[in-house]
Amino acid sequence: MKTRKIGKTELKVTEISFGAAALGGLYRACPRELAMETLEAAWASNIRYFDVAPWYGLGLAERHVGDFLRAKPENEYVLSTKVGRLLRPVPTGTVPDYGYVDPLSFDADYDYSYDGIMRSVDFSYARLGLNRIDILYVHDIGVYTHGAARNAIHLKNFLESGIKALEQLKSSGAIKAFGLGVNEVPVCLDVMRNADIDVILMAGRYTLLDRSAVADLLPLCRKKGTSLVVGGVFNSGILATGPVPGSHFDYMPATPDVLAKVGAMEDIAKRHGVPLAAPALQFPLRDAAVSSVLIGTAKASSLERNMELFEPALPDTIFPEFDPLTLVAPPLGEDAVRV
């Protein structure tokens, strides 16, 4: 599989990466056997970049990913995890309902400080059972998660304290890159105007349907040499299923406007003889600022189906047909850098 560089670093990642949220039991249990089967399918598909987080299953996904990668040659994969939440043990049966089925018996507290980030990294090493983490993402900082007032406190703490931990870890060689792992554009702009970061893992904001990242974030990424890893390319599933009853967009039931736009997109895809999921998966990699598209599932069969949609590459002429149907931001202009 082709690789692309992360920012200005020498680190290269596969164009398709594996996101391990589902391995934490998101919405349905993910026992070890299922996790190993899915991860092995990703490896067999030549995916060599794996992303995880302490939040996923309250440590469970890190356990699964670490167990898997320990059996693989350490020079053949790239691993990222996240900081910003510290896990603490709680009595069995008292874990709050965060949407994870059978998580580990921990709860999480936000901490974007220097000490909090350093402690989080140490805890992740222990859960992973690995001696190397390549990329660290600051997880879920922003108004989307915290609200405006609380986020102002967290952002100040990160910019004045936490980022020093990441810079120190990178300069010492403990990590190769760092950035943000978020669902919103504004916090990326806030951080990038005050600090240099290598990469942003952005979920759902640079997709066939939602172009929120186009107007401001992509130009700033190009200017500063910051890469994007794009997750959430199906926008909570609707770009995979089409406008079927019960479809979701952005974790919520799809509105009539969204259903209509996706229906029109599906018609375009059908005219070209492909499922809508194919252009949805291939779209982000058309921009040179994007280093990888992240796909996440707990089913080997689902992963294999998604991989089939990346080849053959769709013709460039199909993508402008979707532009008038986007929900947010204008279509890409002449400043776009194509690959």
What integer is the mean pLDDT of 159-177? 99
The CA-based diameter of the chain, rounded to the nearest angstrom, is: 56
Active-site option among 49, 51, 140, 206 = 51
Is 316 a known active-site residue?
no
Whether 208 and 322 have beta carbons less than 8 Å apart is answered as yes
Separation CA 68–CA 66 (nearest Å): 5
Active site residue 49: no
For 79-133, how does the pLDDT look when each residue is reduced to its tens digit (9 = 90+)?
999 999 999 999 999 999 999 999 999 999 999 999 999 999 999 999 999 999 9
Indicate the pLDDT class of residue 333, thresholds 50, 70 and 90. Answer: very low
pLDDT at residue 330 tops 90: no
Please give the pLDDT value at position 251.
86
CB atoms within 10 A of CB 50: 27
Active site residue 56: yes
What DSSP string describes 44-92? HTT--EEE--TTTTTTHHHHHHHHHHTTS-GGG-EEEEEESEEEEE--T
50: Cα separation from own chain's centroid:
10
Cα–Cα distance measured from residue 32 to residue 39, given in angstroms and rounded to the nearest whole number: 10
pLDDT band at 328 (very low <50, low <70, confident <90, very high): low
For the chain, give the percent of residues with pLDDT over 90.
94
CA–chain centroid gap for 137, Å, is: 10
Q: Which CATH architecture does the domain made up of 13-325 adopt? A: Alpha-Beta Barrel (3.20)
Residue-wise burial string across 299-336, b where 16 or more C-beta atoms lie within 10 A, e elsewhere: ebebbeebbebbeeebeeebbebbeebbbebeebeeee
Q: Please pick, among 49, 77, 82, 140, the residue that the annotation labels catalytic.
A: 82
Catalytic residue among 2, 27, 49, 56: 56
| Calpha distance 227→218 (Å, rounded) | 9
- Over the stretch 204-243, which tens digit does the pLDDT of each residue have? 999 999 999 999 999 999 999 999 999 999 999 999 999 9
DSSP 214: T
Q: State how far the Cα of 310 lies from the Cα of 277, in Å rounded to an integer.
A: 9
Whole-structure pTM value? 0.94
Handedness of CA 95, 100, 105, 110 (dihedral sign): negative
Q: Which residues contact 231 (CB under 8 A, 6 or more apart)?
A: 19, 201, 202, 203, 204, 293, 294, 296
What does the DSSP assignment read for 115-136?
Answer: HHHHHHHHHHHHHHT-S---EE
Mean pLDDT of the chain: 95
Q: What dihedral do alpha carbons 169, 58, 65, 29 form, nearest 10°? A: -160
| Secondary structure of residue 6 in the 3-state scheme | coil
Burial 108-140 (b: 16+ CB within 10 A, else e): bebbbbbebbbbbbebbbebbebeebbbbbbbb
Sorted by where each begins, the domain ranges of the chain are: 13-325
